[in-house]
Amino acid sequence: MSNVASKIQAFTAAKFESPPKFTEFCRNGGKPLGGIIGGRSVRGMMNATFETSDPGSLEVLATICEMGHSEVADAVNAATRAFQGDSGKGWKHTTVEERRQLVMKLVELCDRDRDVLLACEVRDGGKVSELAEGDFTQIRACAEYFCRVAAGAELGETEARPVADGVKGLTCREPWGVVAGIIPWNYPIVLTAWFIFPALLAGNCVLIKPAEDTPLSALYIGKLAEEAGFPPGVINVLPGRGEITGQSIAENPGVRFISFTGSPGVGQSILRTCDLHGTRMKREMGGNGAAIVLADADPGLVARWIGRYTNQHFGQTCCTIHRVFVDQKIADEFIDAQRAFFAGLKIGYQSNAGTQLGAVVNATQRARILRAQQETIARGGEAILAGGVAEVRDHNGYYLKPALFRTRPGVDCNPAEVFHTFATICPVESAEQALQLANRSPYGLGASVWTRDIPRGVALAKRFRDGTCQVNCHNSIAYGLPYGGQGISGGPGGGVNCEETFYDYTQIKALYVAEYPG
């Protein structure tokens, strides 16, 4: 393996200590952390609480109040009042510049409390610092991008033009009013930012429903929003279980638009509920990403790059690589290098320096992954690294070993997303065969081709059915380029992080005005 290859390593932890402000926030003076509704901390009628813990140590970090049907209704009412402006200027009457100033004030406060938000990501989310720090930068990047989009966006009315004899027509683009973001646990800060900034800048009031495993960052951002001066009700945070809090949001017709990020099954079920009363919904869902490695690639180098991506957040990354199709001429060398990379990952507690593979988010996920490892063998996969439970000294978290399987065309042993450092490698006769196999998946989020021949790589990459097609890179994200899934990975529309995303948070109406008849 070349020297260059050996320098490529997995995302790695630096030693992380939680700041006292994080501990103080979590303790909340001995009381459970409430939801945030209409600018107030709310305990909830159900009087139900749940604990959120560090998946690497199982230490309970905070107790959180669960928001039920009644609190969701209260939040919708508070957000509607804030939107309309019952007693004063409503959010819908604010200018884009006024919204921009508040959004950027919130970003400044996030920057001030960077270490607290990093602690949310590292401790609550179980992430290594290298990745958490990268995620944190998305707050500012996302806000600045959507401030630029909002400044140039065509909102309000177009000029009226004659459309028939005595009839003029125009369009009117306006915010929906109350919109909700249902967020998964794997990228809480990033996905909260991706939801709130375009939604707020377009003039909506928001309900944030964080995942039950990682509620802390959204609650902290909600607290900072109050300090930034957002009017009460513009930003509401509703922690709780999916089937209680999330379901109540989906059932509430006052929520005009839902941005859902999560698994395909849950997204499909929420869509059916939304359809009952006409709430619009956008879905960004799971993936089972493919990488095609052509014969001209350096197997040692590319195996390490692919290993870094597969292991990003311990494989709990929606668009990452879990299926590799490698030209049979370099397959053995590639498999050896990939095995060495996976086997060399340092398994440990995510806050300890050097950790590259930490605990998965909860016991259910651990059981699911273990089952998937066994099923891969039952379906004909040949274990290169069989996975299984890992022990980490002094830490009692949900640790697992990486898993790697060899397969062959026609053996469908990796049909569904396995959210871990898990991949199948399939030697193929040609790029054409690889492409056909890659596109056979019902998912379509991210895929890549690895080759020295860039024009050939581009030509092949364009033929993936995925929403994000890449050459010699993976898990790529840039503001201005849509990030979205095809097949069961997402829809409708172009995805997030582009101009179209901003317009998703608006509705367009046609207005016809005819002469008075008579």
Instruction: Please report, as residue ranges, which positions from 206 to 235 form the binding site for ligand NAD (by CB under 6 A).
Output: 209, 211-212
Task: Considering the complex, state which of residue 117 and residue 237 has its C-beta at the smaller distance from ligand NAD.
Answer: 237
Stretch that binds ligand NAD, among 163-171, 179-187, 345-353, 376-384 (CB under 6 A): 179-187
Binding-site member from 10, 26, 67, 182 for ligand NAD (CB under 6 A): 182
When asked if residue 65 is in the footprint of ligand NAD (CB under 6 A), the reply is: no
Pairing of strands 289-293, 446-450: parallel
Is 286 near ligand NAD (CB under 6 A)?
A: yes
Please identify, using beta-carbon distances, which residue of 100 and 209 lies nearer to ligand NAD. Answer: 209
Q: Which of 136, 146, 176, 187 binds ligand NAD (CB under 6 A)?
A: 187
**CA 72 – CA 254 distance, rounded (Å):** 10
Structure tokens at 383: 């274990």
Catalytic residue among 284, 319, 426, 469: 284
Nearer to ligand NAD, 299 or 444 (CB): 444
Q: Give the tokens for residue 149.
A: 């989009």
- Tell me, residue by residue from 477 to 506, as one string, x for binding to ligand NAD by CB under 6 A and - for no binding: --------x----x----------------
3-state secondary structure 395-445: ECCCCECCEEEECCCCCCCCCCCCCCCEEEEEEECCHHHHHHHHCCCCCCC
DSSP at 467: S
Q: Specify burial of residue 507 (Cβ count, 10 A radius: 0-12, 13-18, 19+).
A: middle
> In the 8-state DSSP scheme, what is residue 357?
B
36, 250, 335, 449: which one contacts ligand NAD (CB under 6 A)? 250
The CB-of-45 to ligand NAD minimum distance in angstroms stands at: 19
Q: Which of 472, 443, 468, 423 is nearest to 314 (CA)?
A: 423
The stretch near ligand NAD (CB under 6 A) out of 11-19, 20-28, 229-237, 262-270 is 262-270
Q: Cα separation of 512 and 508, whole Å?
A: 13
Distance, in Å, from the CA atom of 20 to the CA atom of 26, rounded to the nearest integer, reads 10
Among 320, 247, 252, smallest CA distance to 286 is for 320
Shortest Cβ 490–ligand NAD spacing (Å): 6
- Specify whether 284 is catalytic: yes
Indicate the residue among 56 and 490 with the shorter CB distance to ligand NAD. 490
369 binds ligand NAD (CB under 6 A): no
Taking CB under 6 A as the rule, does residue 285 contact ligand NAD?
Answer: yes
Residue 2 exposed, middle or buried by CB count within 10 Å (0-12, 13-18, 19+): exposed
- Of the candidate residues 52, 186, 236, 252, the single one contacting ligand NAD (CB under 6 A): 186
* Residue reference for tokens 């957040």: 313
* Residue (186 or 441) nearer to ligand NAD, CB: 186
Query: Across the strands, what pairs with 469?
Result: 447
178-182/422-428 β-pairing? unpaired
**What's the token pair of residue 49?**
């609480």
State in angstroms the smallest separation of the CB of 70 from ligand NAD: 17
Q: Which of residues 289-348 bind ligand NAD (CB under 6 A)?
A: 318
Q: Does 64 bind ligand NAD (CB under 6 A)?
A: no
- DSSP β-ladder status, 506-514 and 167-175: antiparallel
Q: Is 184 a residue that touches ligand NAD (CB under 6 A)?
A: yes
Q: Which two tokens stand for residue 136?
A: 């944190």
Question: Shortest CA distance to 269 belongs to which of 249, 290, 298?
Answer: 249
Closer residue to ligand NAD in complex, CB, 61/270 = 270
Number of residues lying near ligand NAD (CB under 6 A): 29
Q: Which residues of 190-202 are buried (b: 16+ CB within 10 A; e: fewer)?
A: bbbbbbbbbbbbb
| Residue 195 is a binding residue for ligand NAD (CB under 6 A) | no
Helix (H, G, I), strand (E, B) or coil at 336: helix
Q: Does 138 bind ligand NAD (CB under 6 A)?
A: no
318 is annotated as an active-site residue = yes
Out of 327, 417, 466, 504, point to the residue binding ligand NAD (CB under 6 A): 417
Site for ligand NAD in 424-453 (CB under 6 A): 445
Is residue 243 within the footprint of ligand NAD (CB under 6 A)? yes
Q: Name which of 294 and 318 has its Cβ closer to ligand NAD.
A: 318
Catalytic residues: 284, 318
**Can you give the binding site for ligand NAD, defined by CB under 6 A?**
182-187, 209, 211-212, 242-243, 246-247, 250, 261-263, 266, 269-270, 284-287, 318, 417, 445, 485, 490
